[in-house]
Chains A and B, each alone.
Chain A
Amino acid sequence: MAGTNFATMGIREIQAGLMNEEFTAVEVAEASLARIAEQDKDVHAFLETTEEQAIEAAEKIDMVIDSGLDITVIGPLAGIPVAYKDNMNLQGTHTTCASRMLESYVSPYTATCVRNTIEAGAIPLGKLNMDEFAFGSSTETSAFGPTRNPWDLERVPGGSSGGSAAAVAAGLATVTLGSDTGGSIRQPGSFTGTVAVKPTYGVVSRYGIVAFGSSLDQVGPFARSVEDAALTLNAISGHDPLDCTSQPVDTDFTANLAEGAKGMRIGIVPAFMDAEGLTHEVKVKVEEAAEHLRAAGAELVEVDLPNAQAAMSAYYVLGPCEAFSNLSRFDSVRYGYCDPGHKDLGGQYEASRANGFGPEARRRIMLGSYLLSAGVYDKYYYPAQQVRTLITADYTRAYEKCDVILMPASPRTAFKFGEISDPTSMYLSDMFTISLNIAGNGGMSMPCGLGADTNLPVGVQLQSPQFKDENMFRAAAALEQVYGKAPVAPAFAAKAGE
Chain B
Amino acid sequence: MKTMEEVLQDWEAVIGLEVHCELTKLETKMFCGCKLEFGAEPNTHTCPVCLGMPGALPVPNRAAIQSIVLAGLATNCDIEKHTMFYRKGYMYPDMAKNFQTTQGPKAFCMRGWLDLAVDGRGAKERLFWDDLAEGETSENMTRTADGYTAHVGITRIHMEEDAGKMVHIGGGEGRIAGATHSLVDYNRAGTPLIELVTEPDLRTPEEARLFMQKLRQIFLTLGISDCSMEEGSLRADGNISLRRRGSTEFGTKTELKNINSFKNLHDGLAYEICRQAEVLEEGGVIYQETRHWDPSAKRTIVMRVKETADDYRMFPDPDLAPYDLSDEFIENVRAKLPELPDQKAARFAADFGLSAYDARHLVEHRFTTEFFEAACEEAGDSARDLAKPLANLVLNDITAYVNANEGVDFAATPFTPARGVQLVKLLAADEISSKQAKEVFAAVLEDDKDPQAIVEERGMKQVSDTGAIEAVVDEVLAANPDKVEQYKGGKTGLIGFFVGQCMKAMKGQGNPKLINQLLEQKLN
Contacts and interface: CB of A to CB of B under 8 A. Distances in A.
B54 A369 contact: no
Contacts of B55: 87-89, 95, 111, 206-211
B99 A373 contact: no
B324 to A, nearest CB: 12
B52 A325 contact: no
B56 A244 contact: no
B54 A105 contact: yes
A331 B93 contact: yes
Interface string A197-237: 00000000011111101110000000000000000000000
A345 B318 contact: no
A210 B57 contact: no
Interface in A236-264: 241-245
A415 interface: no
B318 A322 contact: yes
Interface residues of B, number: 29
Of A97, A111, A245, most buried by chain B (CB within 10 Å of CB) is A245
Contact of B91 (A210, A215, A328): A328
B360 interface: no
Given A214-B319, A328-B99, A334-B96, A109 B53 contact: yes
A102 interface: yes
B57 A333 contact: no
B321 interface: yes
B389 interface: no
A95 B89 contact: no
Contact of A213 (B48, B60, B318): B318
A215 B60 contact: no
Interface in B68-119: 87, 89, 91, 93, 96-99
Of A206, A209, A372, most buried by chain B (CB within 10 Å of CB) is A372
Of B58, B93, B315, most buried by chain A (CB within 10 Å of CB) is B315
A111 B317 CA distance: 20
B297 interface: no
A88 B56 CA distance: 11
A192 B327 CA distance: 52
B98 A329 contact: yes
B93 A374 contact: no
B321 A325 contact: no
Contacts of A322: 318
A331 B315 contact: no
Nearest to B176: A345
Contact of A374 (B52, B57, B311, B321): B311
Contacts of B87: 325
Interface string A329-343: 111011100000000
A321 B91 CA distance: 16
Contact of B315 (A207, A321, A330, A349): A321
Contact of A245 (B97, B311, B321): B321
B189 to A, nearest CB: 11
Interface string B302-342: 00000001010111011111000000000000000000000
A345 B93 contact: yes
A111 B57 CA distance: 11
A82 to B, nearest CB: 18
Contacts of A214: 317-319
B318 A329 contact: no
Contacts of A210: 54-55
Contacts of B91: 328, 331, 349
A241 B319 CA distance: 13
30 contacts: A88-B55, A89-B54, A89-B55, A95-B55, A111-B55, A208-B56, A209-B55, A210-B54, A215-B318, A243-B57, A243-B59, A244-B319, A321-B315, A325-B87, A325-B89, A325-B315, A328-B89, A328-B91, A328-B98, A328-B99, A329-B52, A329-B98, A330-B54, A331-B93, A333-B93, A372-B89, A373-B311, A374-B309, A374-B311, A377-B314
Interface of A: 87-89, 95, 97, 102, 105, 108-109, 111, 206-211, 213-215, 241-245, 321-322, 324-325, 328-331, 333-335, 345, 349, 369, 372-374, 377, 381
Given A88-B55, A325-B87, A331-B98, 4 more contacts: A105-B54, A207-B57, A372-B313, A377-B314
Closest 7 CB pairs of A and B: A215-B318, A372-B313, A214-B318, A328-B98, A210-B54, A208-B55, A329-B52
